[in-house]
Amino acid sequence: MRLAVLASGRGSNLQAILDAIAAGTLDAEIVGVFSDKPTAQALRRVPEPLRWSRNAKDYPNRAAFDAELATAVAATRPDWVVCAGYMRILGDAFVQRFRGHLLNIHPSLLPRHRGLRTHAGALAAGDGEHGASVHFVVPELDAGAVIAQAALPVLATDTPESLAARVLRLEHPLLVAVLQMAAAGRITEQAAQATLDGQPLFTPLRLEFAPG
């Protein structure tokens, strides 16, 4: 399975993918890492030939940046495109080009807390549980069909920072687990719905992992 990964920051989810590939638990290869931030630490996790980065601020508009990004991603012939901590909203043209093969990991139990500041949002809402979701990307922000989630209890002592750290430890195995399903040809998007082994997922899979 050929994976193109989009990342804007540290790249810890990318590292989880790389570790799983190295351990032989994920039958995949990274064919490119793409970033809107040339200084993103994620880029340094792969050899230079696999890196592509441009400063999005140098482009006249989002469409122009996305068009160049899409061309670069397509050139790697990916089976799946994975947004792993990619902080730019992808435009409709990019999403439609890779629709059905475009995944995102989001730090909340969707449909709750779309967008940014999800951990503060969970605390402000008094949520009893919080977690992460892997979903298909559609033009509407964080609104695509959710494939799988992992949850943890919100503690009375949690801050946005502590909750973020705890959720991040769930994100890594969750993303790898979904990519294992993708590598085995088990997941698809059909009529805006996620399917597993050809059957519609009416509710996301709830996966459990030991605390990291």
Which residue of the set 106, 113, 130, 135 is catalytic?
A: 106
Quote the tokens at residue 162. 């502590």
With 60 as the cut, is the pLDDT of residue 212 above it?
A: no
Report how far residue 80's alpha carbon sits from residue 98's, in angstroms, rounded to the nearest whole number. Answer: 8
Rounded to whole angstroms, the Cα distance separating 145 from 110 reads 9
Q: Are 90 and 62 in contact (CB under 8 A)?
A: no
Question: Alpha-carbon distance 204 to 212, whole Å?
Answer: 22
- Condensed to tens digits (0 to 9), the pLDDT of residues 135-152 reads 999 999 999 999 999 999
Q: Where are the domains of the chain?
A: 2-206
DSSP character at residue 99? T
Distance of CA 153 to the CA centre of its chain: 22
- In this structure, what token pair is assigned to residue 143? 């609104």
- DSSP secondary structure of 142-192: T-SPEEEEEEEEPPTT--HHHHHHHHHHHHHHHHHHHHHHHHTT-EEEETT
106 tagged catalytic: yes
Average pLDDT over residues 95-110: 98
Cα separation, 84 vs 105, whole angstroms: 6
Query: Is the pLDDT score of 72 beyond 90?
Result: yes
**How sure is the predictor about 210, in pLDDT bands with cuts at 50, 70 and 90?**
confident
199-200 vs 187-190, strand pairing mode:
unpaired
Share of the chain above pLDDT 90, in %: 98
Q: List the one residue out of 22, 46, 21, 24 whose CA is nearest residue 33.
A: 46
- pLDDT tens, position by position, 87-102: 999 999 999 999 999 9
CATH superfamily of this structure's domain 2-206: Formyl transferase, N-terminal domain (3.40.50.170)
pLDDT for 52 equals 98
pLDDT at 186: 98
pLDDT in tens, 147-180: 999 999 999 999 999 999 999 999 999 999 999 9
Inform me whether the pLDDT recorded for 200 exceeds 70.
yes
